[in-house]
Every structure is written in C-alpha cells, then in structure tokens.
C-alpha cells in the first residue's frame, strides 16, 4: 500500500489525511478477538453497551500486545518508507536504543448519561518535554471499531495547524526544544494560542471512519482526545503508531536532559546502586553546540527531512 499523489497533496496541505483500509480484514478480526478477551475478565463486552463503564477505559490487566504488531503491518511499513525515504523509525524513549515498540492503545466509551457533548477547545503536540526537541515526524491513528459520528470519541485535530505551528517555530526556533511549553503565550493560553489569528487553521474536526481505517498526522498537527457522546453505542478503540526521524533520535544522548549548567546528559555508570531512570533538569543554553544538530533545526522547507515523495 502506498499513498496516492492526491493523498500526499492533501497531507501536505491539511496536516492529516485518511488512509482507508490500512488493516487487512483478517488481521482486524484477530485484533478484535484479542480485545474482547482482554475485556471479558472485567465483565466488559465491547459489543454490549450495557456492560460499558463511562469514559476512557482499560482493563485491569492492561491491553494485549496484538499479533501481528501494528508496527509490523506491511501496509504501514510501506507508507512509512514512502514518507520518510528510509529515514523514519518507530519512536522510542529518549536516550535508549531503538527497540521493538508497543503501540499506544486508547479506548473511549460513552460519557456518563446526561453529559453534554462539546468539541475540544485546545490540543497539544506529541514529542515535546523538557529538553526533548525535534525528531518526531508523524503518527497514525488506527481504528479497530467503526466510529461513524464526529461525536464518537475520535481523535480531534485542527486542520492546517501544522502550518501555524511551523510558522511559530520559524519565528522562535530557540523554543523548538520544548521550552515553548513554559513560555508565553503557550504557558497561559495553551497550544491554541499559537493557532489564534492564523487564518489558515480550520475549525476542530473529530476523526470518523470504519474499522481498519487510519488517519495520518504530521507531527506538528495540534490534536487531542475527544469524548464519546453519552448514549453512543459505538466504542472508540484505536491504536497509535508514532514515527521519529532516525538520525535525530540517535542524537538524543548528545543533548537530552542536560544538567542545570548546560552539561549534556549521559547515561550513568551501571551498577547495583544506579538509578533505573534519569530525570531531566533543564534545556540546553542557546550557545550550546547541541543546538546545531538536525534535531533542533527548524527548516524553511517543512518537508526538508522527509522523503522524495513529499519533496517533488
């Protein structure tokens, strides 16, 4: 499976594009069966709304690792190869080696009875935290059950917000490391403060589709969960596949989690008393050489680090 020229054009223009039928029917049927088994121990039947708790749901034992893994689907792999020209790989925790990834699962069941549905008013960008910076390129939201209504809990997003966010980071490249989250106007006004006044950005939309369909997002597209309307009889079951630029994430140990004096973070010696995780403490200072790496580059051409299919 590859995206058509029309889909690529839509993706570049809108920051998101539907990908119908990404998951083959036989794989989808197997995944649904695995989800039903995982829920049954809680007394939850995804085909029977009378058994559903309200809002976001996960079974006590957690969601199963589906077989085959979403990241291993040939359809998905071929599209990612087309998008990145071989430069993209599944995301991973910063500073850790590339390893097999487990897609994130989100299940949104209907809200409490009497709850009035409202569209989200703000969203976020993935891949930003203290010192995190660039490298996150794209993600797919893949539906495992139908979502026929925009009030059905599908991922909400702001069309063409990738253009507004790109403009913002061109104006403030020093904030691309994630420090924009702690800087006005985002600190007080949220991510929507970046979008306000940019006439290119559309009103919020909520994903719909058939089971097995996907929506591909640019990494700079503002998005967020939406709620499933009270009284709905459709569960929103989705998995997320995230992709980073391989070279940029391989640079992570060079710049991630610097000490407060700007010294780049490096893994501590391993021993019986070594901590399992290292906590970030700050951002690189403006003159730090790490800021010259590709992961902190904000190019004029939004598609500079994408494959040839996006640069023709």
- pLDDT, position 142: 98
CA distance 229 to 150: 9
Tell me how many degrees the CA angle 186-103-202 measures, rounded to the nearest 5.
40
Closest CA to 221 of 144, 156, 150: 156
**pLDDT averaged per 10 residues in sequence order, the chain, 312 residues:** 97 98 97 95 93 94 91 96 94 61 92 96 85 83 97 97 97 90 92 96 97 97 97 96 89 68 58 51 76 91 96 87
Residue with token string 């809990």:
153
pLDDT of residue 131: 61
CA gap 185, 52 in Å, rounded: 40
- pLDDT score at 256: 66
Given a contact cutoff of 8 angstroms between Cβ atoms, the answer to whether 205 and 119 are in contact is: no
pLDDT value for 135: 86
Over residues 235-293, the pLDDT tens digits come to 999 999 999 998 888 887 677 656 666 666 555 555 555 545 445 556 778 888 888 88
CB 120 within 8 Å of CB 224: yes
205 SS3 class: strand
Which are the contacts of 203, defined by CB distance < 8 A and separation ≥ 6? 158, 159
3-class DSSP assignment, residue 6? helix
The pLDDT score that the predictor gives to residue 101 is 77
Tell me what pLDDT residue 177 has: 87
Residues 6+ apart with CB under 8 A from 230: 110, 111, 112, 113, 114, 115, 117
pLDDT of residue 267: 52
In CATH, which superfamily holds the domain spanning 5-267+277-300? q2cbj1_9rhob like domain (2.60.120.620)
pLDDT at 127: 81
Q: Which residues, 6+ apart, have CB-to-CB distance to 16 below 8 Å?
A: 157, 159, 215, 216, 217, 218, 221
């Amino acid at each position: 499976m590859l995206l058509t020229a029309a889909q690529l054009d839509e993706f570049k223009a809108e920051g998101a594009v539907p990908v119908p039928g990404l998951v083959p029917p036989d794989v989808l049927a197997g995944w649904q069966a695995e989800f039903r088994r995982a829920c049954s121990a809680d007394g939850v039947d995804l085909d029977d709304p009378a058994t559903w708790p309200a809002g976001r749901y996960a079974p006590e034992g957690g969601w199963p690792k589906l077989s085959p893994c979403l990241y291993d689907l040939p359809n998905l792999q071929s599209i990612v190869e087309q998008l990145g020209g071989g430069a993209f790989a599944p995301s991973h925790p910063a500073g850790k080696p590339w390893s097999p990834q487990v897609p994130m699962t989100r299940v949104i069941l209907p809200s409490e009875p009497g709850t009035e549905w409202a569209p989200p008013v703000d969203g976020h960008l993935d891949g930003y935290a203290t010192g995190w910076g660039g490298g996150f390129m794209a993600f797919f939201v893949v539906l495992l059950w139908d979502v026929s209504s925009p009030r059905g809990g599908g991922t909400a997003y702001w069309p063409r917000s990738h253009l507004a966010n790109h403009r913002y980071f061109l104006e403030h490249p020093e904030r691309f490391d994630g420090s924009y989250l702690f800087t006005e106007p985002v600190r007080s006004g949220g991510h929507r403060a970046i979008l306000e006044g940019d006439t290119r950005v559309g009103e919020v939309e909520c994903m719909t589709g058939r089971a097995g369909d996907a929506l591909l997002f640019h990494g700079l597209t503002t998005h967020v969960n939406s709620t499933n309307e009270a009284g709905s009889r459709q569960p929103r079951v989705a998995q997320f596949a995230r992709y980073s630029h391989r070279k940029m994430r391989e640079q992570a140990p060079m710049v991630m989690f610097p000490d407060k004096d700007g010294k780049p973070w490096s893994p501590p010696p391993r021993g019986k008393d070594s901590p399992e995780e290292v906590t970030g403490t700050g951002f690189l200072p403006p003159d730090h050489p790490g800021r010259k790496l590709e992961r902190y580059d904000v190019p004029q051409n939004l598609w500079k680090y994408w494959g040839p299919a996006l640069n023709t």
